[in-house]
Amino acid sequence: MSLVAKQPLAFGAATIGNLYREVSDERAQATLEAAWDAGIRHFDTAPHYGIGLSERRLGAFLQTKPRDEFILSTKVGRLLDPADRIEGDDMAFEFAVPRTHVRRVDNSAGGIRRSLEDSLERLGLDRVDILYLHDPEEAPEGLEPALEQGLPALAALRREGTASAIGVGSKDVAALTAAAKSGLADTLMISGRFTLLEQPAAEELLPVMAERGVAGVAVSIFNSGLLAKPRPASDARYEYAAAAGELVERANRIADVCEAHGIDLPTAAIAFPLLHAAIEARVVSASSPQQMEQTAQRAATPVPDGVWRDLVSAGLLDAALVP
């Protein structure tokens, strides 16, 4: 059993890094406590989320818990350098925080080591369980050099015991597939590429992962919000931008099928990724205790097999994805 398979539902801490809107320290801690009370013991963060705020808040919470009772992942590849002067906010990256630092991509061995050291300082912990190379496809030097530098550097940290498992976190199927084929990755975090709405990861990536024993963690399973409510909101987001009309229509058609079976769209979206054997965990998020409790209830709700069959019949899901 892989590390992530032990905890198949994870909390994604971008929201407590003030993704889209400000969340108070008190509300962030209460949300994390609600996740813990719901049985979640797998937490994911990154320096990118609120330029360090997510790591600091999550670390402050996890320091109060027994270290052997939770799985923690963070990411490397973006260093946070102090800004020359604090000016404006970070909403260009969708985080409602002061722009105290600037991000600098660095996938070198030295940069990755420094990134982890900085993360551990913010977290107040001495190790992480999983370390991901974050969005290597965005590196100025290109994807291939980023992976050629980054993955061996991560493997060195794994040998040293600072991380138990390594991999890549990305929305880019080509980057994830290359990482799966490298022979170095234990775990891949697949962002938005295997969801109830769309499944481009199913064509090549997931079969390669299954063949090579690489564990998958599905994140952005609501496609940035489009599948997060029983019916898509008028201002629903997709890929962090306004959702196109055809995508909203597709989400509504999926919701029709779900409602016919007595469940709602987010419940099916949470359940869907585990239909594939290569996906061993899903990441959910929340920005309030109430939202966390509702999401946990949905995650615990069984989805009738008929939902998947009817989605296939409606042309909304590939029959090959239904066991």
Please identify which residue in the block is written with the tokens 């019949």: 313
Residues paired with 105 in a beta bridge? 78
Taken as a whole, the chain contains a residue count of: 323
Please give the positions annotated as active site: 49
Q: How many CB atoms lie within 10 A of CB 31?
A: 26
Residues paired with 188 in a beta bridge? 168, 216
The encoded tokens of residue 114 equal 């420094």
The encoded tokens of residue 249 equal 């229509």
Long-range (24+ apart) CB contacts under 8 A made by 225-232 are 226/197, 226/251, 227/195, 227/196, 227/197, 227/251, 227/254, 227/265, 227/266, 227/269, 228/266, 228/269, 229/265, 229/266, 230/255, 230/259, 230/264, 230/265, 230/266, 231/255, 231/265
- For 61, the 3-state DSSP assignment is helix
Helix axes 305-313, 245-260, angle to 10 degrees: 130
**Cα-based torsion angle of the residue sequence 23, 133, 92, 173 in order, rounded to the nearest 10 degrees:** -110
